[in-house]
A and B are shown apart, each in its own frame.
Chain A
Amino acid sequence: MKNRLAQFIEKQKQTKEKALIVFFTAGYPNMDATEKLILASVNCGADIIEIGIPFSDPVADGPTIQYASEYALKNGATLAKALLVVKKARAKTQVPIVFMGYMNTFVAGGAKKSFASISAAGVDGVIIADIVPEENKAVEGILKKYNLAQSMLVAPNTPAKRMSAIANKTTGFVYVVSVSGVTGARKGFSIDITDYLKKTKAAILNKARYVGFGVGSAKAAKALAPFCDGVIVGSALINIIKEKYPKSTWLNSVCNLIKNIKKAIK
């Protein structure tokens, strides 16, 4: 049976609409807020929810997500608590949900047990930031067994042939890393980003390509959208939460950016 993410990607092939993927760190600022963010995001037009599982040593992340991860961990965030949030949200939404994190937190206590519980909670896929195809044997069999789609990453310095190979390994979407660098909202992209995105289009066939890292505004999303199948927004949303929470308007402020980006990529 196809999971929700696979179904969404299949449907997107017909509609050709650009997807909006939003990222939140589990437990930032707390687990209740994460649940609210999931539900609100769906109402405001997000197509896929990506939940970051905080890790003590997030080498692929910039200052914003590092901060959110450290904050969440200090508040006692765990994978199990994030799964409870998903279980609760599943009573109200069938939006595709993927977990993003690092190898060590995913496989702690045993990879099988861990991915089985992730799947059972209603998560549709995973993104493991420090797994490349060469090391994927460590997880791919288990992910398949538990019907979890794996989205793998390509970067600006990935050769075209390797991009195709990564796409072949991918069972979810291809996460197109927009920049050489870490996650985090940026003022702008280098001028050759469209060339790079065209290169990914030529190399990656039959897989959805969603662009992330540094997509910080509706303007940036609008500029990228024609060259990909969707955009991923994370740090920009977390920055809003950091600024506004717990003011009464915090959730609305997050929603407004989601709405604006969704409008911009139509």
Chain B
Amino acid sequence: MNKKEYFGSFGGQFVPETLMAPLAELECALKSALKDSSFKIELNSYLKNYAGRQTPLYFAKRLTQMYGGAKIYIKREDLCHTGSHKINNTLGQVLLAKRLGKKRVIAETGAGQHGVATATAAAIFGLECVVYMGEEDIRRQALNVYRMELLGAKVIPVTSGTKTLKDAINEAMRDWVTNIANTFYVIGSVMGPYPYPLMVRTFQSIIGKETKQQILAVEGKLPDYVIACVGGGSNSMGIFYNFIKDKNVKLIGLEAAGAATLSKGSVGYLHGMKTYVLQDKYGQILGTHSISAGLDYPGVGPEHSYLKESGRAQYFPITDFEALNAFKMLAIYEGIIPALESSHAFAYLPKLAPKLSKDKIIVVCLSGRGDKDVDSVLAVLGRNK
């Protein structure tokens, strides 16, 4: 299938009819905005002067020495305003919402980072903002709930299903169907019906674009590996995209073992897309279990399904235990407290870096900072390590 809505055989628009008109409207607005230099100038100005781009590519000297193999570079998306890469996407989408004259934006959130980034972008432009969040996630990411409220957003607890990210998406989609006339749905990952996966990847691909320029400037060559965590898959798609054509750069995505959609799932239909999902034999979507709320999702962006199937990228599961170890390592060796989501990417380093020679280069995407997770980690690890 070569239809524009698809990545290989994945993607599409598996939605109720009511959403087809707003999806067409969105596609049209996106196309015209991306051709419009004033849109690009405005977005780039916010990315630079407000969100703090470009983010550094940092050589992790002690981590490199500790593993004793390949050189490790860290792409510092944790230094973006609001504390994660999510702002790259929400600034783009909220500018589009403004362009379409929508007065209200809605979002789903798992860990709360996308909710915070949406609330932030909505605040800049004075738009009403409603964020759907699973009751279970509200409990474990309380800090981010309060941050969203401080930013003027209304956080609505979702009590249906598994009370996590997938159910928050269901509820946001229901809100959107009901309020299409005045509402723009800001999806937080490279998922959902077309054109969302394309749009979010477009806004996030700045991560990989910068990384490529930065590594070429420092090392004079491309990295051997680019690695990133995958929940829905926006930071990974963002850093992967500009390296897809560079066949010698290996792309590796790390999933939470309790939500390892690509490593353990099968093809299905969820949230408007055909993609890998975790499901039982009856086609019911399974609950997921990860210490990291942002990776607790039984689906994945369709472009990742395509990268997996075509063999261009590889995906591996990381356990909670491995992620927590990586979390501690980064704090102790590099003075960085990473998000638990991003810790999954770092957890692959002990399996990879020591096996590689010292002239090899690994770039890890540090998608967010870990302040929000300190309570959860304390609850698991306690004070005495």
Contact = CB atoms under 8 A, between A and B. Distances in A.
Given A104-B269, A104-B277, A180 B284 contact: no
Given A57-B161, A102-B269, A104-B285, A155 B170 contact: no
B297 to A, nearest CB: 12
A129 B16 contact: yes
Interface stretch (A8-16, A105-113, A234-242, A244-252): A105-113
A181 B181 CA distance: 11
A78 to B, nearest CB: 5
B17 interface: yes
B299 to A, nearest CB: 9
A73 interface: yes
Contacts of A105: 282-284
Interface in A7-66: 55-60, 62, 66
A260 B12 CA distance: 42
Contacts, number: 110
B14 interface: yes
Contacts of B14: 103, 130-132, 135
Interface in B267-293: 268-272, 277, 279, 281-285
B222 interface: no
Contacts of B330: none
For the residues of A in contact with B, the DSSP-based class is: loop
A173 to B, nearest CB: 14
B166 interface: yes
Contacts of B21: 155, 157-159
B1 to A, nearest CB: 9
Contacts of B161: 56-57, 70
Contact of B12 (A62, A66, A135): A135
Q: Which of A59, A60, A159, A180 has the most CB of B within 10 A?
A: A59
B216 interface: no
A189 to B, nearest CB: 14
Contacts of A181: 18, 174, 177-178
Interface residues of B, number: 35
A137 to B, nearest CB: 9
B365 to A, nearest CB: 29
A110 to B, nearest CB: 11
Contacts of A154: 17
Chain A contact patch, size range: 35 or more
Nearest to B1: A137
A130 B283 contact: no
Contacts of B277: 104
B13 interface: yes
Interface in B1-57: 5, 12-18, 20-22
B377 interface: no
Interface in A144-171: 152-159, 162, 166
Nearest to B162: A56
Nearest to A78: B282
B141 to A, nearest CB: 22
Contact of A180 (B18, B166, B279): B18
B13 A57 contact: no
A57 B271 CA distance: 8
B180 interface: yes
B160 interface: yes
A177 interface: yes
B111 interface: no
A134 interface: yes
A153 B16 contact: yes
Interface string A70-91: 1001000011000000000000
B173 interface: yes
A209 to B, nearest CB: 14
Contacts of A135: 12-14
Contacts of A121: none
B283 A132 contact: no
A130 B5 contact: no
Nearest to B286: A56
Nearest to B181: A180
A257 interface: no
A180 B183 CA distance: 12
A180 B178 contact: yes
Indicate the member of B15, B166, B282 with the most A CB atoms within 10 Å: B282
A195 to B, nearest CB: 16
22 contacts: A55-B283, A57-B167, A57-B170, A58-B170, A59-B16, A59-B174, A70-B161, A104-B277, A104-B283, A108-B279, A108-B281, A108-B283, A109-B282, A132-B13, A134-B13, A152-B17, A153-B17, A155-B17, A155-B20, A157-B21, A180-B181, A181-B177
Task: Please provide the 6 A-B residue pairs with the shortest distance between their CB atoms, ordered closest to farther.
Answer: A108-B283, A155-B18, A181-B178, A105-B283, A103-B269, A157-B21
Given A107-B268, A180-B177, A181-B18, 9 more contacts: A55-B283, A56-B161, A59-B15, A108-B281, A132-B14, A155-B18, A155-B20, A159-B21, A177-B17
